[in-house]
A and B are shown apart, each in its own frame.
Chain A
Amino acid sequence: MNGTQNSVRTIGFATIVVTILTAAVSFGFVRASLNDIRVHWQENLVWASSQLEIEYLRFRESLVRLGDERNGVDSAEVNRRFEILWSRVKLFQTGVAGQKMESRPHLGAAIAALQVTLEKQEPRVTGLRDNDETGASILFEAFAKHDQELYQFHRGIMQAEVEIGAGLRDALYANHLALTWLAGGAVLVTLALLAFFAAETRRQRQAAIENSILLEQARTATRAKTAFLSMMSHDLRTPMNGILGMIALAKRHTADLRQAEHLDQAADASRQMNDLLSDILDFASLDAIVSDLVAEPFELVQLQQHIRSELEPFAQREDINFTFNTTSDADQVMLGDKRRLSQIIGHLARFLGRNSATDGVELRMSYAAGFFRAEFDFHYETEAGDWHLDLVLGPSSQEISGFANDALGPAIARGFTENMGGTLSLHLPQAARENAVVVLSVPLKAQKRAYVRVRIETQSSALAAICKSALKMPHVQFYQHGDAGDVHTVVVETGAQFERDTCERLRAVYPKAKFIALGVPLDGALFDGEIKLPIDVAALRQAAFLEGIQGSLLQG
């Protein structure tokens, strides 16, 4: 494809260059022809020869009229005509006309002969006196021989000029013809190129359509495969759980130690099968697009608890001690896909625990500068067996063909990490006593923790303490006497005038707050919800919509 595009580009560029050169050369030819015509007409020999002939006839006429009593001229007029005639002869001996005459030597003889006669007869003309008819007659005869010569000269000049003019016109026409052919050729080449471009564009468009169809087919096939894998893993897990349950029941009713040991092994195998099915399910969802990721607020502690509970069965089974260490800003809450993060960490932890022959992994989690970071710190012998830690980063090209069950976990972790825009890196020990560290880094947004402020108004301090205890949550702040600022929930003990006075007073201060009645209210219209005594913690939290308020505050 690139080769074709380069060829098209080269042909296009070459055509443009050729067209420009053609236009320049043609323009040069036409301009040269026009310049030739301009030079040709710069000094028109036909006009000059006409002038010569006229002045020659005028001089001859003046000789005839010398001494004529009615239309006579004097000798001075004859001399003037003689001088003017001489000047016209000189026209053919100097300047552009002189140069042109050099290229027409056969015509120059008439001018040379007239010049000889002028020089020869000059004394007789200057010596001419008024009424000197005899002298005039002699002069008239002396110039008579030039009548026919000048006539032929003029004809020759005209013919030569016509021929030269025709030649120039022919040259111009030839140039014009060449220009037309060249322009026509350039137009044809351009049209051919445009047709080629159009065909190439059509072909590429068709190829793009076919590619998109193939891509869609591939996606459909992948989705079908994913759906099949998901369904199968679900369907397999259900009977596997049944088997585990039956094994547990069977173990409870047996007193035979050997049989119990066999049942333990069967249970372990079943659990491994269950884990394997979970991995297959995760692997099948690897091609999920990024938009499948959810952005929910969570805290590192929550993530840690989730991972700890997920890893606990594995840790017990494999006898590995997982220790957790989290560092983050207490006022920060991360926004991200907590479930997907715990999947990544779980896969990595199980893979490392199962393969690295370590008896303990320290998992350090932190959040800073827009990145969530999880470090798996554990003891690793670089020369221990066939297994290599760098499998975490992916199998080598030789190992891909032998994609083993062991590689599934890190492959899923890598896939999910890439989907989240994160990276995995590995720090192998440089000295004997150093640990290896696998580092997961994922970009996550975070925001300041939002609090729900609760104000409790009771007549009994004991009831207030119970209420506080029930509502005590990380994101709940309790109103202290003298605090300014808004309050989201007001809990008021019901009964007597206290209930009405308190609600009316605080409603004016917190018009948007939720008012919860603690007990049966005398006037239900004063409250948005009520909690009967004794206090049911879950009901109180639900009535106060603390979870909902927290969520909306965090999202906002």
Chain B
Amino acid sequence: MILFSRVALIIALAVSFCTASVAETILTVQVKNTGQANKTTQFSRKELLDLGQITLTTANDFVDGTPSFEGPLMRDLISAVSGQHTTVARLFAENDYIVEIPTHDFLDYDVVLALSQDGKRLSLRDMGPIWLIYPMSDHPELADPSYNNRLIWQLVRVELE
């Protein structure tokens, strides 16, 4: 009986740990100055995956070759938080790096919030968990330092204004 109770406790703890792991917030999105109260939405990896995945195969200055990046489109994330009327996105990295991007970029290009690269989940060590990727191979005009600076990695927070 005691053995059964201990096994049940271990299983309960394991499930609890797994659930907590899955639901861990990896991205916070805040919509500001839209005429209503600021709205903050938190996304776990699963919730980001649920936005729909696309695969973007492209090169950039920080990788070798042309790897494939998988993740949701940035414009889908903006739609999910009702931030379509915003004009500027301010993105924050884990190390407090900040970059401001006009939101029309996300309409003009398929900008992806990459969660994995070549099928491998992005860790902090691999510029993850979220790396903003522009389709540079498909659009030569993006091969410019001003767009390089927008490839923010280790993304943790987005403010939309």
Interface on A for B, CB 8 Å cutoff? 38, 41-43, 51, 54-55, 58, 80, 83-84, 86-87, 90-91, 94-98
Is A87 a contact partner of B153 (Cβ separation < 8 A)?
A: yes
Question: Measured between alpha carbons, how far is A170 from B83 in the docked complex, in Å?
Answer: 49
**Complex contact A41–B94 (CB within 8 A):** no
Beyond A43-B62, A58-B95, A80-B124, 7 additional contacts (C-beta under 8 Å) are A38-B144, A38-B145, A42-B143, A87-B154, A91-B62, A94-B62, A95-B62
Determine the chain A residues whose CB is within 8 A of the CB of B145 once the complex forms.
38, 41-42
| Bound-state Cα–Cα, A218 to B63, Å | 90
The answer to whether A84 touches B124, judged by C-beta atoms less than 8 angstroms apart, is yes
* CA distance in complex: A172, B125 (Å): 39
A95 pairs with B154, CB closer than 8 A: no
Asked whether A55 and B95 contact (CB < 8 A) given A41-B145, A84-B154, A87-B127, the answer is yes
Chain B interface size, as a band, is 10 to 19
B127 contact set on A, CB distance < 8 A: 87
| B 109-158 contacts with A by CB, 8 A | 123-127, 143-145, 148, 153-154
Q: With A43-B148, A80-B94, A84-B94 in contact, is A95–B124 under 8 Å at CB?
A: no
> Complex formed: what's the CA distance from A271 to B148 in Å?
114
Q: Which residues of B contact A86 (CB under 8 A)?
A: 124-125
16 A/B residue pairs, CB under 8 Å, sorted by A:
A42-B143, A42-B145, A43-B61, A54-B95, A80-B124, A83-B123, A83-B125, A84-B95, A84-B124, A86-B125, A87-B125, A87-B154, A94-B64, A97-B61, A97-B62, A98-B64
Partner of A42, one of B95, B123, B148: B148
Most A CB contacts (10 A, CB to CB) among B61, B94, B126, B148 go to B61
Cβ–Cβ contact B94 & A96, under 8 A: no
B60 interface hit (Cβ, 8 Å): yes
Cα–Cα, bound, A267→B136 (Å):
116
> Roughly how many angstroms separate A52 CA and B148 CA in the complex, as a whole number?
18
**For the complex, what is the distance from the CA of A498 to the CA of B154, rounded to whole Å?**
133
Would you call A94 and B63 a contact (CB within 8 A)?
Answer: yes
Set A38, A83, A94: member contacting B124, Cβ < 8 A:
A83
The dominant DSSP class at the B interface is loop
**Alpha-carbon distance A86/B154, docked complex (angstroms):** 12
**Contacting pair B124 A96 (CB below 8 A):** no
Nearest-neighbor residue (CB-CB) of A98 within chain B: B64
Within 8 Å CB of A43, what residues of B?
61-62, 148
Instruction: Give the complex CA separation of A98 and B62 in angstroms.
Output: 8
B29 to chain A, nearest CB (A): 21
Complex CA–CA separation, A54 to B148 (angstroms): 20
- When C-beta atoms are compared, the residue in chain B nearest to A47 turns out to be B149
CB neighbours (8 Å) of A83 from chain B are: 123-125
By beta carbon, the residue of chain B nearest A41 is B145
Residues of the B chain whose Cβ atoms lie less than 8 Å from the Cβ of A94: 62-64
- A508–B123 Cα gap in the complex (Å)? 124
Which single residue of chain A is at the shortest CB-CB distance from B93? A84
User: Which residues of A have CB within 8 Å of B126?
Assistant: 87, 90
A90: B residues at CB distance < 8 A:
125-126
User: Known contacts being A42-B145, A43-B148, is A87 close to B62, with CB within 8 Å?
Assistant: no
Per a CB cutoff under 8 Å, which of A42, A54, A58 touches B61?
A42
Q: Is the CB of B60 within 8 A of A95?
A: yes
Q: In the bound complex, how far is the Cα of B60 from the Cα of A98, in angstroms?
A: 13
Query: Which residues from B are CB-within-8-Å of A87?
Result: 124-127, 153-154
Instruction: List the A side residues contacting B94 at CB < 8 Å.
Output: 80, 84
